[in-house]
Every structure is written in structure tokens, then in C-alpha cells.
Structure 1
Amino acid sequence: MCLQASYAQESSYFVFQQPDYQRDCKEVLNACSSTHHTSGVYLIKPDGYPEPFEVFCDNDLDTGGWTILHRRSVGSVKFNRTWTDFQNGFGFLGSEFWIGNEKIAFLTNQKQYQLRIEFQNVAGEAYYVTYDNFRISDEWGQFSIASLGTYEGTAELEKCVCVGDYMVQDENCIPQNQCSCFVTEKGGVFTDGEIYVSSDCTSRSVCSNNQLIVEESYQCSDHATCGVRDGVRRCYCIDGYEGNGVNCTREAVPKDCQELYVDGSSDGV
């Protein structure tokens, strides 16, 4: 029988009760009938943990059975907290939360687990990483990472990133409010003289004297398309037209054989 909690803001009500609890969301998924294979809040009790507790189980990712340890997206829950808060957990399973280091320690030391981390940068680009043998130590070990295993994913490793309100500029981290040429869509800071065209070619930004100049009127000609060539995104005139992409004119066509011959584009007939 499967235990699922329907929770409100101040209390929880459990539809079923039984003495034996599943140890994680994978076991919940395997124990539940097909009518309970939905993502939601369930009760689990890892080996050795004194009492069952609620977790959010994601059954939509891959084959399901993922125990969600942490979620943060819009900043509705404060994460600048004490050691005790992170040990015990905080937040709301229906929105943003940290499940708690103590619970994670009991979870990850009962069998082998895969850790998956999903995140987005400020430009909205999504990435993920997985480690196939994730485990942390207990309180005596200060909940430090004891094992990670093999990495897979779409995010770059061995790369320094700036944290908090700091951004990268010339491989250095500086406060975001000092970034004169910060472009949100790019998710980074421009160097002086660098040009950036938006993904739909509707604006063009130029960093000049550490000041960002945005040309909102930048727009492709009716005879041009927005594209990337040789790593440069901008408006490009279509075949038969020439220009800078914003202004495109039809290529000159020879009027007669004499012009064609003078132009050098033909050996004549």
C-alpha cells in the first residue's frame, strides 16, 4: 500500500497508515499501484531514521522514482540560514525547500544513489549534471560529500564560476553593479568594443568606454535573415542582395553583353 500526503500550509493529512514505510521515492514508485504513479508528496523512512517524513517524489523525469532534495527557482524562500536550519531542512515541498542534511545523510548511506542537478543560467539556458554514486557523511563528518562517482551531463566541468551577485569579466569576478556592459541574455559582461546582437536580431548592443549602448531600432531588412555565420550573429542579406543586413539592395545585373564582358564575369560567347 502506498502512502501519499495531501498537505496544506499548516498541516498534513495522510490517507493511509501502515507500520512499514518505503525508504525512498524509488521504492514508493515500485510499491504503488499504477494509479499512484504521479509526482507528489509521499512518506518515506530511510534505514535508521527515527521516524517517517515527507518528501517530494518526481515520477515524471526518466522512469520516475526521484527523491527531490532541493528546489529553488524564484527566491520565495530565504536560503541565507544557519547550520541548524540546513541540518534539519526548511521551506515548502510544494515550492522551494532544502530537505535537510541529516535526512540526506540517512538516505544516501543505505544504498547507492545517483545524484542529478538541474539548473539554468541567467540567459535561461538549461543544464544538468549527474553523478552515479552520491553519498554524504553524517553530522560527525559535518555532512561533507563522501562520494560522487562518475559524472555525466551537459554542463562544463573544471570551470570557475562567480557566485552570488558577482559576474565574470576578463576571467575575474566583480560585483554585478559594477558591470557597465552586462547583457542579461548573454549572461555575462562584454569587453570594450564587443558587439552583441539579440537572438532574434531585434536589438544590437555595443560596449563603448565601458558603457553599454543598445540600438533598439536594429532590425533586419525585408531582404535579410537573422543568422549566425562564422560564430557571428547578425542580419545577413539573402542571395541576390548585398548590404549590411539592415539595408539590403539588389545586386547590380549587367544590362547587356558589353557590361557583362567589362565586369569580367564571363568570357563571352
Structure 2
Amino acid sequence: MHKPSFQLTNIHIYFNLHIGSSYFVFQQPEYPRDCKEVLNACSSTHNTSGVYLIKPDGYSEPFEAYCENDLENGGWTVLQRRLMESINFNRTWKDFRNGFGFPRSEVWLGNEKVAFLTNQKQYQLRLEFQNAAGQSYYVTYDNFRISHEWGQYALSSLGSYRGTPNSNIEWCPTNEIFTNEACERTCEDPETCVSSTSLAKPERCACVSEYMIHEGNCIPQNQCGCFVADKEGVLGNGESFINSDCTRRSNCSNNQVTLEENYQCSDDATCDERNGIRRCYCNDGYEGDGVECTREMIPKDCKDLLTDDTRDGVYTVYPDNWPTAFRFTARWKERRRMDGD
């Protein structure tokens, strides 16, 4: 499910036993299986909202959940409460699996708990939102269920939708998020942000992070035609990427990657990264593209240095059978005048 396309300051997510559902109970469980059973239990806390221990069928141990009994007919189990205050919701997979926060304030109950809860009966899901202007909205679905961890907690059922009349809630398209980030990228040109002229709103649905635009759709970058696993990114048309040990070069052309499996440095070259570019570089005294390197000409005397473009200055020569190089000042202009040039 995607985030609504307006700035939210308050989010509450509940679920409840769907009206009309029935089930047979042959043995009273030690703990209530959800907040509806908490509400129906004979207790002095009847109809009181608060934190209770519940234990869904098959779950290993009871856990605390906030039961909201002041909403409609009560019996709502709070899955998420987010007030944009103290709890960071930018979390890892493990955190969302196990849950975090505090039942009486900001909380995420946890994917594993929600999976066990929603797979024991038919439940109604209710999402409540409040925007920065203080306007409140809600939507409900009458058959909410997610898969267990082996299914990556994917949404397996929602059922029929119902919401606040004239709420004008808009949902972001697949793989897009509501954000104020200004930079969207395309598979074809991953290094360039989409023109700022198309980013008129400061906050909007956008294709960001690990997603890129391809033919108008927002897709994971690893589905782009020039995605390179070695780079963990996408190449632009005409770009190349060489892996860490310079044994393979990937080339992008027409949004397709071709591999040079036989890419290999010359014996007279070194695999290195210089100025942000990794490739084969010829060693000192050699020149070439790194795959092929030839020895540079080493001047033995002035004749080796003399060309039509040679200018007066200080030069170094390496005479044969001489233990070291030496430097000298050459005046080619005077020599040409004496020779009649």
C-alpha cells in the first residue's frame, strides 16, 4: 500500500474482526487472540481502551497491544500509531518484523505479529490520516490479510474499500513515494536529474532512491537494461565499468549491457582507480590504454629530442652505457640559424 499524496502529521492503523464473521470456540484460550476478544471478555476493564496481552493462534508467546474501544463499536487492535514526533520509522527489515515503539504512543506492532493475527479470522482494516491543515480522513478495507515471513509479509488480501466522503485522497503510483526530494533519474541517463521544470510541487509522488524511470514507469534500478551488479548501479548510454580486479568490462549501448570477459591488464600495467575511474594504467616508462602498453622512447642524445617543434629549454637524456641521466640546456633556435634554417 502506498503513502497518500499529501503531507501527513498523524497516522493511525487499526484492524478489527469483520462484521458477520463467525467461528467456533471449543476451548477458551489462556489469552485473548485479538482486541475483539479483549472487549468481549467478562472483566472490570470492559469497554476501556488500553494496553492488553493478546496471543494469536500459533504465536509463540503473548505480547502487548493497544486495544481501541472508543472507536465505533470498539475492539480495534492498533497496528501503527505515528504522530511524527519521537519515533524514527526509517528502520531495518528486522525492526519492522519484530515491531518497535510503545503501545501507548508511537508504535509499529510488527509484521510477524500482524501476520499471525490476520490469518486466524477475517478482519477489517482502518487507516486514519491527518494532514498539516488538521483535516482528517479514513479508509477501510473489509478483508485484510498479509502473508507470513516466508512470503515476505506481502499483502495477500484487502477486500472492499470504503472511505471518508469527498476525501480526495490520492495514492502514489507503484514504486513511487510521497517526498520532497527533487532528483528523479532515468534508466537511460542515470547520472542526470530529471529537469527541474517538471518538479513544480515541493512535495509530490516521485521515483527516487533505488528506483528509476523507464518509459514512464518507476522500476527498481536492477531492472534497468544497463544495470551492472559489479557497480551496484546503472550505466548511461556509451559508458563502461570495469570490475574491482580489472578482469571484466561492462559496456552500455542502446540500453543493453555487453560484457568483455577477456578484459585484462598488460604485464606492463596496473589495475588502479584514479580520479574516480578504475581501469588498467600503463606503468611509468610505458604508454597505451593499459590493455596494451609500449615502452616510451627514451632519448639518448640531442638528436633523439630534435623535431620541428622542439623549443629551447632544459632537457634530460639517457646516454648508452652511462650510469645516470643528465640534464642540459639546449638552444635549438641558435643552432638552426647557424645551419641556415
- 1:163 paired residue among 178, 181, 205: 178
Residue 122 of structure 1, CA deviation: 1.8
C-alpha distance in structure 2 between counterparts of 1:142 and 1:123, whole Å = 36
- 1:28 paired residue among 38, 44, 56: 38
C-alpha distance in structure 1 between counterparts of 2:181 and 2:130, whole Å = 16
Residue 138 of structure 1, CA deviation: 0.6
- 1:54 paired residue among 59, 64, 71: 64
The residue matched to 2:95 in structure 1 has which SS? Answer: helix
The TM-score, its normalising length taken from structure 2, stands at 0.43
C-alpha distance in structure 2 between counterparts of 1:148 and 1:66, whole Å = 17
1:139/1:159 CA distance change after superposition, 3 Å: closer
Question: In the comparison of the two structures, how many residue pairs are matched?
Answer: 158
The 8 Å contact of residues 128 and 136 in structure 2, kept in 1 or not, is answered as yes
C-alpha distance in structure 2 between counterparts of 1:171 and 1:32, whole Å = 60
Structure 1 match to 2:107: 97
Segments ≥4 residues shifted beyond 4 Å: 169-176
The 8 Å contact of residues 40 and 46 in structure 2, kept in 1 or not, is answered as no
Which has the higher relative contact order, 1 or 2, with Cα contacts under 8 A spaced 6 or more apart?
Answer: 2
- The one-letter code matched in structure 1 to 2:116 is F
Aligned pairs for 1:62-77 within 5 A: 62-77=72-87
Structure 2 match to 1:214: none
- 2:145 paired residue among 135, 148, 164: 135
Deviations 1:107-166, CA, capped at 9 Å, x for gaps: 000010000000011211100000000000010111010000000012446643861335
The residue matched to 1:28 in structure 2 has which SS? Answer: helix
- 1:119 paired residue among 129, 139, 150: 129
Structure 2, unmatched stretches of 5+, are 1-27, 183-195, 204-341
Residue 34 of structure 1, CA deviation: 5.5
The TM-score, its normalising length taken from structure 1, stands at 0.54
- Computed over aligned residues only, the root mean square deviation of the Cα atoms, in angstroms, reads 2.5
C-alpha distance in structure 2 between counterparts of 1:173 and 1:32, whole Å = 57
The residue matched to 2:40 in structure 1 has which SS? Answer: helix
Structure 2 match to 1:10: none
- The one-letter code matched in structure 2 to 1:103 is K
Residue 170 of structure 1, CA deviation: 9.5
The 8 Å contact of residues 44 and 55 in structure 1, kept in 2 or not, is answered as yes
1:102/1:171 CA distance change after superposition, 3 Å: farther
Structure 1, unmatched stretches of 5+, are 1-17, 177-269
C-alpha distance in structure 2 between counterparts of 1:83 and 1:125, whole Å = 32
Residue 150 (1) aligns with residue 160 (2): yes
C-alpha distance in structure 1 between counterparts of 2:50 and 2:129, whole Å = 21
C-alpha distance in structure 2 between counterparts of 1:119 and 1:46, whole Å = 27
The 8 Å contact of residues 135 and 145 in structure 1, kept in 2 or not, is answered as yes
Structure 2 match to 1:88: 98
Select the structure of larger CA radius of gyration.
2
The residue matched to 2:39 in structure 1 has which SS? Answer: helix
Residue 102 of structure 1, CA deviation: 0.1
Residue 74 of structure 1, CA deviation: 3.1
C-alpha distance in structure 2 between counterparts of 1:35 and 1:127, whole Å = 30
The 8 Å contact of residues 166 and 173 in structure 1, kept in 2 or not, is answered as no
The 8 Å contact of residues 141 and 159 in structure 2, kept in 1 or not, is answered as yes
